[in-house]
Chain A
Amino acid sequence: MSTPLLEVDHLAVSFGELHVLEDVELSVPRGQAVGIVGPNGAGKSTLLSAISGVERASAGAVRLAGRDVTRTSAAERCRLGVGRSFQIPRPFADLTVFENALVGAERGAGLRGAHAREHSLRALETAGLLGLANKPAGSLPLLGRKRLELARALATGPELLLLDEIAGGLTEAEAEELVATVLSLKESGVTILWIEHVVKALVQVVDRLVCLAYGRIRVDGDPHEVLASDEVAEVYLGGTAA
């Protein structure tokens, strides 16, 4: 079997005495879509941050296509093909929506001139933001900012796309469109790691589901089996529903 695109090996992240992640093991083959569920504070976003390089691992390793990137900067990992969206959007408020995407296309995907501009426009189109391209990003409402997170991540031309709660707050119809978008990304060969509380949207896309709680992976497997497992019921309902 070929080397997995992403390998997380005995990963731990601590902030002083607070151990957010402990001994996390995760291996994602190229082209797979993996969903991550778990209660608030389980360490889901921290896991994405450790993979994208925003947070440093206190122990363990992260490998991309077999290459150890544990000590590599977020910018370098992005250029290696990791695109991420932030759960709490972080727009470049004084730049336009288009320019926000252009940063990713120029720096993350390493494109120049007309190629970079075209790539940014396509990313905005996919995220449904093309019509707002000239708006200052700081003027977008929350939903627009979440779309911008997706658009910017796409503009970097990711092989591995890390999505952090992009479906929250969407209407039924919008959620369906989002599912279609993410499915088409998956079909185009992008490997996806998606944190989402809207489980209904998640299971339509992912091949595999991971449940994270108290900084550790509790269950990992087929989405429906994982959702039906005792561990997930225990994690979410505190063990009283067994």
Chain B
Amino acid sequence: MTVQTEPATQATALPAVHRGGRATALGLTGTAVVLLAMAALPYLVDTGVTAQLVKLCYLVALASMWNLLTGYAGMMSMGQQAFIGLGAYLLFVVNDHGLSVYTGTLVVSALVALVAWPLSYLAFRLRGGYFAVGTWVIAEVVRLIVVRFDSLGAASGRSLSDVTADPVLRRAYTYWLALAVMAAAVLGTYAVLRSRLGLSLQAIRDDDTAAGSLGVNVTRGKRIIYVTAAAGCAAAGAVICVNSLGVASPTQIFGVQYSALMVFMVVIGGIGTVEGPVVGAVAYFLLDKYFAQSGVWYLVVVGAAAIVVSLYLPRGLWGTLAHRTGFAVFPVRHTVRFRAAS
């Protein structure tokens, strides 16, 4: 076949391949600075501000997990609330057994990962829209099982039994916990995407038949992400539980509105980018902060934002910017650099 645009390529001299290079170091340094500044906030501002930021942190974590599932592995889940709820409820169990809510969050994510593993065998029997509905059904079943336990408050929710007594300290700890969960979700997503698994996942998302024919173990890749996203959502669920000192009602924590929220944030921010869910979560956080008191107008504004972005910026806010400028805080693309001589 003809060799296009690169005439007389020597058999020995191949171009170099770059992956972000200095931009990678810059992005990670910038992220570290932002995270450190955020970590210092309890010393600088009053607890009202950090209390609001707790919500932003778990929103970012949730959005990142849904993006990992759908934007990178092509699994459209409508049932992540199963793991949010399980995370919150298992925190009662480990807390009752004497673990602090902070280490408890870590333990709970691991436990939920263990639950998600067998559930994936059930969920993976379905595809596309059926998978979405199937995951929702699984979430409902998990809720129905959880409310059968009187020790967990049955159908009426319950409070955490053992939390830090001092309110100022408790709020600071809660905020740091939320911050750590967010950082783990975002940087964890980035680490996955930079790994060999990340490239295979994107291949699976774009065409799983072709991915299989190129040697990608499609089911294994999907399963790893399904379990990871479950663990991440469980950590977010535990944060939600710690933040409100318990669960108000099982229908709320197992509610499908969490899935709707995740779709909204990821679509607004930009699906299939590491930065998109962060931007989407910030956008939702601001909409929520300034319009939540406006009654029905709140839903009008949120709905209008979703419609406008999907019509005019189908790549989302960050996705559009990244596409137009090639800019990335977390670069994952491989770039082949040809020598200047051509």
Residues of A within 8 A of B (CB): 52-54, 73-75, 78-79, 84, 86, 90-96, 98-100, 102-104, 106-110, 112, 117-118, 121-122, 125, 127-134, 147, 152, 155-156, 170, 173-174, 177-178, 181
Contact = CB atoms under 8 A, between A and B. Distances in A.
Contacts of B210: 86, 90-92, 152
A147 B209 contact: no
B286 to A, nearest CB: 29
Given A95-B206, A131-B6, A156-B214, 16 more contacts: A75-B216, A75-B217, A75-B218, A84-B213, A86-B213, A92-B203, A93-B207, A102-B334, A103-B200, A103-B203, A103-B214, A104-B215, A121-B336, A130-B336, A170-B1, A174-B1
B14 A79 contact: no
A94 B4 CA distance: 21
B31 interface: no
A78 B336 contact: no
B311 interface: no
Contacts of A98: 17, 334, 336
Contacts of B215: 75, 78-79, 103-104, 107-110, 156
Contacts of B207: 90-93
Nearest to B14: A121
A109 B214 CA distance: 9
A229 B217 CA distance: 44
B106 interface: no
B212 interface: yes
Contacts of A108: 214-215
Nearest to A104: B214
Interface string B184-226: 0000000000001001101101110111111111100000000
Interface of B: 1-6, 9, 11, 14-15, 17, 196, 199-200, 202-203, 205-207, 209-218, 272, 333-336, 338
Q: Give the one of A96, A129, A131 with max B CB within 10 A.
A: A131
19 contacts: A53-B212, A53-B213, A75-B217, A75-B218, A86-B213, A90-B209, A94-B272, A96-B334, A98-B334, A99-B199, A103-B199, A107-B216, A122-B14, A128-B2, A131-B3, A131-B6, A132-B5, A134-B335, A178-B1
Contacts of A109: 215
A99 B9 CA distance: 20
B4 A128 contact: yes
B196 A177 contact: no
B206 A131 contact: no
Contacts, number: 132
Contacts of B3: 125, 128, 130-131
Contacts of A52: 213
Nearest to A170: B1
Nearest to B214: A104
B340 to A, nearest CB: 15
Contacts of B206: 91-95
A99 B200 contact: no
A103 B212 CA distance: 10
Query: 8 shortest A-B CB distances, which residue pairs?
Result: A131-B5, A108-B215, A107-B215, A128-B1, A92-B206, A131-B6, A90-B210, A78-B215
Nearest to A79: B215
Q: Give the one of B1, B211, B272 with max A CB within 10 A.
A: B1
Q: Give the one of B218, B334, B335 with max A CB within 10 A.
A: B334
B1 A75 contact: no
A75 B3 CA distance: 30
A118 B216 contact: no
B202 A96 contact: no
Nearest to A112: B196
A128 to B, nearest CB: 4
A103 B218 CA distance: 12
Given A104-B214, A106-B199, A156-B214, A174 B335 contact: no
A78 B333 contact: no
A177 B202 contact: no
A13 to B, nearest CB: 16
Nearest to B220: A75
A80 to B, nearest CB: 9
B296 to A, nearest CB: 38
A107 B15 contact: no
Given A75-B218, A95-B202, A128-B2, A103 B336 contact: no
B3 to A, nearest CB: 5
A130 B334 contact: no
B334 A99 contact: yes
A95 B195 CA distance: 15
Given A106-B196, A174-B2, A130 B213 contact: no
Given A128-B2, A132-B5, A54 B336 contact: no
A131 B212 CA distance: 26
Q: Give the one of B5, B216, B334, B336 with max A CB within 10 A.
A: B336
Nearest to A121: B14
A110 B207 CA distance: 20
Q: Give the one of B206, B215, B335 with max A CB within 10 A.
A: B215
Given A128-B1, A132-B4, A134-B335, A103 B211 contact: yes
Contacts of A90: 207, 209-210
A61 B203 CA distance: 29
Contacts of A100: 203
